[in-house]
Amino acid sequence: MLFLCDIQTTQEQLFEHRLVITISNGDENAWRILHEFGSRGYQYYSKKRENIRHAKVQHIQSIAIEEGPMNCDRQISLVILITAILLPLIAAPIAGAVSLQASEDLILTIPNQDLGLSPNVAQAPKVRLSRGGKVFPLTVTGFVAGADGEMTCNVPSGLEAGHYSLWALQSGKWVKYKTLVKVLAPVVNSVNVTGDALRSGTVVTLGGLFFSQTPAISISYENSEGQPVNQPCSIVGDSSVMDSETGTSQIEVQVPDLVVSAPASCVFEVESPNGSAFVYYANGGDQVTIRGQLISAVRQNTIKRKEVWDYLLASISDDWFFQRITEGFLYHTKLWNQKYYYDLQQWNISYWTVGATGGYVIASGVVIVPQGIAQSPLLSFQHGTMLMKKEAPTLSEGAELGFATTFASADGFLVSMPDHLGLGQSAYRAQMNLTHPYCEAEPLATAAADMLVAVKSFLSRQFPNLQLKNKLFLAGYSEGAYATMALHRELDTNTYADIPAVTASAPMDGPYSLSKVMLDKLMANTTFPVLYFAPYLLVAMDQTYKLYGDASLYMDFPFDMTVAPLINGYFSEQIVNSQMPAVPRNVLLPAIASQLTQYHGPIYDALLTNDLAPSTPPQGSWSPIAHLYVIHGQKDDCVPYANLTSATDYFTAVGAPNVQSATIDTVWVNLIPGTYHAAYCPFAMGMAWSWFHNMKP
């Protein structure tokens, strides 16, 4: 079992480094060379910063060219920004984070600075973990005093995967820290077979993440009569290996005596104290590549029905005081009246789908399974805008995952919650160059639809006694609302085997009019609450549609070097926003800005392609038959209310018979810190749940 420690709010740390390079003979292409250096990034290693194991040049902060004769070499000094590359999961200790030595003894190392201990403290405080009202004491085994000191603790074995709060006893009181200890379940994602086929006695190498030292491994397949068979596999010697920095694991196992000579396909399951995972294997080759084909699944945790409300609050904030404020606001939403009937299991799955530019890619998502129920309606829940790969549901227990659990526990929904392409477990350590196609209808919709197909396979294997009702509900907020409407259109216009027709969908505060409402908002000569929205959209559209291929052809200097390279899924909103101008349109070259204000050009065409509510619907435009409930906050400052009116105008024009809309107009959003867009979310969620609930799913 491997424990990784992380802080949800910790951002990757940037630091400056001065680099001097020489350009010979007064090279006139100096600026082009420097641009390529800054925008592409180069690996960098600093012996002076031994705690940074790997680093990457992200962009040039400033440049100074020493003038000289044209035929002489010139020295160019660059102040470049370096960031720790994110491949290592247990990287160097950074402020506010906890590092862990992944050892057989499960020793957790906590830097004193994370606990705010005075250098004069000579004795380690008592520490513990908590989750869902349960407390797990840690046994302190070592303590080094001082600001640079640390304490070591033995971690209880058998903890379920998920986030745990860290507490310390100080001055007779237990103090809760923002540091979250994250326990990750095992992931198995590759099968390598010795020989030409899998048979009795074959040695198989399983690869993945976070295996315990001695996991239990089994193989499942069908006998000649089609009946399921499950047999344990034996571990080969000391073959279990786990990298303490990355969590990368592999283990060799020997297949037992099979009841058939060579099964056509099989499933290997890895069971560790903190979770289980399984992966499919097609005999004679790798995983079959078919859209919606389930690849693997990982059990994450169990949430008791009495813990659901606390789980929701904790998903919104880990600060006790802010949770109480949030609870007060939730009192004024329809969520307050929910009653929770079902315990829940959370699983992460991976599956095959199609990428934004074509070709097969691996996608991931969360499945929430209600327990103690014979039949469940299906709910596809699309999450909102997330700039970082690690913020997606499979890697982070954020607010939308919290809201999804309330739907599942209250009404027994089986929830399918896809990571958007390029985000989450499937793209954080593998497929690292897979960019999220931000607000692009087709890849968002097909990935979500393919996950529904994969969920059916997952249920048939893991929960064969749970039947799905012939009802399908869709919901999402912000970009999740956009993805929800796109998914509704996809399911109406294309056939997916064994997936029921849409019963009802509830998109909330989504940017359905990209080429008009959102473009006008972004091109206004005013500031914008979410500065990264513009470059996120630009970089994604450029990469998917191959509009320019180089940020310098549409972004103004220096933003082509200081902003565009940061849109890769590994930099936070705060970091990207810090490099943005106050007025988003100023990130563009003047010629590109002029094109967009006049509604033409390659970027405009890409936005128009992805409009879900075009002002002039083309012939044969989608007209939903199922019930659709468009919800929007009246004073939304990020995704303007005009998106709702554009959507309702569109559905009126195409003659959609069952479309309703609702406006959120409540004074309570004025008291919630942050943007109106974020403040409207719990009210919209309450309205969507109430609407679904009244349909008696």
pLDDT beyond 70 at 52: no
Query: How crowded is the C-beta side of 677, counted as CA atoms within 13 Å?
Result: 19
CA dist., res. 469 & res. 458, Å (int): 16
Query: Do the domain assignments include residue 272?
Result: yes
Is residue 589 pLDDT above 80, yes or no? yes
Please identify, among 59, 84, 109, the residue that sits at the C-terminal boundary of a domain. 84
Domain span at residue 50 reads: 14-84
The band of 72, judged by pLDDT with boundaries at 50, 70 and 90, is very low
469 and 603 housed in the same domain: no
Over residues 405-415, mean pLDDT: 96
Greater confidence, 689 or 48?
A: 689
Residues 253 and 371 in one domain: no
Residues 225, 179 within the same domain: no
Are both 420 and 362 inside the same structural domain?
Answer: yes
pLDDT computed for residue 245 by the predictor: 54
Q: What is the pLDDT of residue 673?
A: 65
Is pLDDT of 486 > 60?
yes
Domain check: are 403 and 468 in the same one?
yes
pTM for the model stands at: 0.77
Structure-model confidence comparison of residues 219 and 28, the more confident one: 219
Shared-domain flag, residues 153 and 195: no
Residue 284: pLDDT band (50, 70, 90) is low
pLDDT per residue as tens digits for the range 53-71: 333 334 444 444 443 333 3
CATH of the domain at 121: 2.60.40
Choose between 182 and 92: higher pLDDT. Answer: 182
* CA 389/CA 158 separation, integer angstroms: 28
- Give the separation between CA 353 and CA 447, rounded to whole angstroms: 6
For the chain, the average pLDDT equals 80
Please tell me the predicted confidence (pLDDT) of residue 200: 92
- Please indicate, yes or no, whether residues 250 and 146 belong to a single structural domain of this protein: no
Report pLDDT digits (tens) over 262-281: 888 888 888 876 677 888 88
> Helix and strand tally (H, E) in the chain?
17, 30
Assign 25 to helix, strand or coil.
Answer: helix
Q: In this predicted structure, which of 51-60, 226-235, 389-398, 591-600 has the lowest mean pLDDT? A: 51-60
Based on the domain organization, do 161 and 216 belong to the same domain?
Answer: no
Residue of higher predicted confidence among 299 and 14:
299
- What is the per-residue pLDDT for 153? 79
Would you place residue 299 in the very low, low, confident or very high pLDDT band (cuts 50, 70, 90)?
confident
Long-range CB contacts for residues 64-71, cutoff 8 Å, separation at least 24:
65/30, 68/26, 69/26, 70/25, 70/26, 71/25, 71/26
Least confident of 177-191, 356-370, 472-486: 177-191
Nearest CA to 419 out of 454, 381, 457 is that of 381
Give the gyration radius of the chain's Cα atoms: 26
Given a cut of 70, whether residue 12 has pLDDT beyond it is no
pLDDT given at position 666:
77
Residue 499 lies in a domain: no
Last residue of a domain, which of 157, 183, 209?
A: 183
Query: What pLDDT score does 197 carry?
Result: 80
Q: How confident is the model at residue 377 (pLDDT cuts 50, 70, 90)?
A: very high
Please tell me the predicted confidence (pLDDT) of residue 204.
Answer: 92
Query: Torsions phi, psi of 116, nearest 5?
Result: 65, 30
Mean per-residue pLDDT, 502-528: 95
Domain membership flag for residue 630: no
Lowest mean pLDDT among 194-198, 285-289, 448-452, 611-615: 285-289
Structural domain includes residue 615: no
pLDDT at 286 over 90: no
Q: For residue 450, give the nearest of 351, 342, 318, 523 by alpha carbon.
A: 351
Is residue 494, in this structure, part of any structural domain at all? Answer: no
For 69-125, the DSSP string reads -TTS-EEEEEEEEEEE-SS-SS-S--TT--EEE--TT-EEEEEHHHHT--TT--SPP
CATH number of the CATH domain containing 563: 1.10.260
* Residue 443 shares a structural domain with residue 322: yes
Last residue of a domain, one of 574, 592, 609: 609
Please give the tally of structural domains in the chain.
Answer: 5
Domain-located, residue 64: yes
What average pLDDT does range 473-493 have in this prediction? 97
pLDDT tier at 30, thresholds 50, 70, 90: very low
Asked whether residue 559 carries a pLDDT value surpassing 60, the answer given is yes
pLDDT at site 231: 94
Q: Are residues 311 and 365 located together in one domain of the fold?
A: yes
Return the H-helix or E-strand segment holding 147.
none
In this structure, are 104 and 153 located in the same domain? yes
639 in a structural domain: no
Average pLDDT over residues 20-34: 40
pLDDT tens digits, one per residue of 210-245: 776 678 899 988 888 888 898 999 999 888 777 655
Q: Are 443 and 558 members of one domain?
A: no
User: Is a pLDDT exceeding 90 seen at residue 73?
Assistant: no
Q: What is the mean pLDDT of residues 245-272?
A: 84
Does 580 map to a domain? Answer: yes
pLDDT value at residue 417: 98
